Amino acid sequence: MESVINYIMKMLNIIKKWSLIALAVVVVFWFFIANWSFVFKQKITGEVVGVERVNSALTVLTDSNSKINPQVFSFSVAIKDQHSGEIHMASSEDRQWAAVSKGNCVVAAYFPYPPWRIIDKGMTNKNARLLRNFTSCEQAPKDEGFFDSLRFFFLAY
């Protein structure tokens, strides 16, 4: 009888251990899926080859109680990566892009759409957030320190 109880206790400990491991795996998997853009964001440093306000035919009517739709301040951004030469493009509702001119050198964060949205969004980026703006790429930092990497890691869109 005592050996049966010991066997049951061993099995319960094994089940508990594997349940905790499975729960941890599910939580990590959920974090990656729910925060895809945050986890897989890219830092791009390079020359701005295009930054345009997306103007559509619209009229902004508002009163004192309602907010203006952020799409009114939408920009199309293209940056040529100084390391690879690839041109990264995204749309953005970050109003700071209004202060950037073609030819400036910027450090920007690009947030990709998740791959399961390939049918409607392709493998495009949903936001380009301006981090730093320079008149030329000679002024841009060549390497980043630990705190810059840490700050970028926790950067949200």
Element (H, E) at 100: none
Measured distance CA(98)–CA(90) in Å, rounded: 15
Domains identified in the chain, total number:
2
**29 and 42 both lie in a single domain:** no
pLDDT at 80: 94
Considering only CA atoms, which of 70, 79, 55, 68 is closest in space to residue 131? 79
**67 and 91 both lie in a single domain:** yes
For residue 68, the one-letter residue type is: I
**30 and 92 both lie in a single domain:** no
Position with higher pLDDT, 37 vs 15: 15
Q: Domain of 20? A: 1-34
Position with higher pLDDT, 155 vs 8: 8
**69 and 30 both lie in a single domain:** no
**47 and 28 both lie in a single domain:** no
Helices assigned H by DSSP within the chain: 2-34, 36-39, 118-121, 146-153
**73 and 122 both lie in a single domain:** yes
**87 and 123 both lie in a single domain:** yes
Q: How confident is the model at residue 6 (pLDDT cuts 50, 70, 90)?
A: confident
Do 78 and 94 contact (CB within 8 A), yes or no? no
**104 and 56 both lie in a single domain:** yes
**139 and 84 both lie in a single domain:** yes
pLDDT tens digits, 74-98: 888 999 999 899 999 888 888 889 8
CATH at residue 131: 2.40.50
**71 and 91 both lie in a single domain:** yes
pLDDT at 118: 74
- Count the helix, strand and coil residues of the chain and give each as a percent rounded to the nearest 5: 40, 25, 35
